Structure 1
Amino acid sequence: MAHIQFTLNDLKRILIEGAGTDEAVDLDGDILDRTFQELGYESLALLETGGRIEREYGIALGDDLLLDGSTPRSLVGAVNDLLNLATEPTR
C-alpha cells in the first residue's frame, strides 16, 4: 500500500471547502501553532473538517483531537500518525 502524507496544504483546502475563512484570517501566514479558535474556526466547523478528513483519508479521528486548543500542527501530525498506522503491514 502506498504511503499517504497529509500536509498543511491539505488541511487548508479542507478547512476552506468545509467552513470557509474569515476575512481577518490569513491561512497563508504562519498558522501551524495557532489554535483553531484563534483562526476563527469554532467547534462545529472543526467537526465538519474532521468528518471531511475521515471520509477523504479513510481514518477515524477522535472529536477531542479537533477541540480543546488543538492547532494545525497537532492535527496534521495526528492525521499522519493514523495514516502511517493504516499503511503498516500486518504481521
Structure 2
Amino acid sequence: MATDVFTPDALRRILLEAAGADETVDLDGDILDTDFTALGYESLALLETVGRIEREYGVSLDDDVLSEAPTPRTLVDLVNERLSAARAA
C-alpha cells in the first residue's frame, strides 16, 4: 500500500514490528534526533526496517540509506524526499 507521507509514528510502528524495542528506551518519547544505535537498533534491525518501509510505502531506498540517516528524523525526511520525488516523476 503506497502512502503519500511517512511519519515518525509510522517509523515507530515499523521499528517495533521489525525489531521490537529495548526495554530501556521509550519510543514514544522525543527520539527524533537520537542515533539509532543509542535507541538499541543495530544494522540488521535497521535493514529489516528499511525493507519494510520500501514494501509498505512503495519507495526504493539506496543501500547507503543507513549511513545517510543515523537518526529517526533524518530517515523520515529521506523517505519523504523519495516519496515526493516518486510523485513528481
Instruction: Give the TM-score, by structure 2 length.
Output: 0.91
AA of the residue aligned to 1:65: V
Query: Contact 2:69 / 2:75 at 8 angstroms: preserved in 1?
Result: no
Looking at structure 1, the residues matched to 79 and 68 of structure 2 have their Cα atoms a distance apart, in angstroms, of 17
Look up the match of 1:25. 25
AA of the residue aligned to 2:13: R
Look up the match of 1:86. 86
Instruction: Give the TM-score, by structure 1 length.
Output: 0.89
**Gaps in structure 1 of 5+ consecutive residues:** none
Give how far 1:68 is off. Answer: 6.8
Looking at structure 1, the residues matched to 82 and 12 of structure 2 have their Cα atoms a distance apart, in angstroms, of 19
Matches within 5 A, 1:41-80: 41-67=41-67, 70-80=70-80
Identity, % of aligned positions: 61
Moved >3 Å (runs of 4+): none
Relative to 1, partners in 2 of residues 1:22 and 1:55: Cα closer, same or farther, differing over 3 Å? same
Query: Contact 2:69 / 2:78 at 8 angstroms: preserved in 1?
Result: no
AA of the residue aligned to 1:47: L
**Gaps in structure 2 of 5+ consecutive residues:** none
What RMSD in Å do the two structures reach over aligned CA positions? 1.8
Give how far 1:69 is off. Answer: 6.6
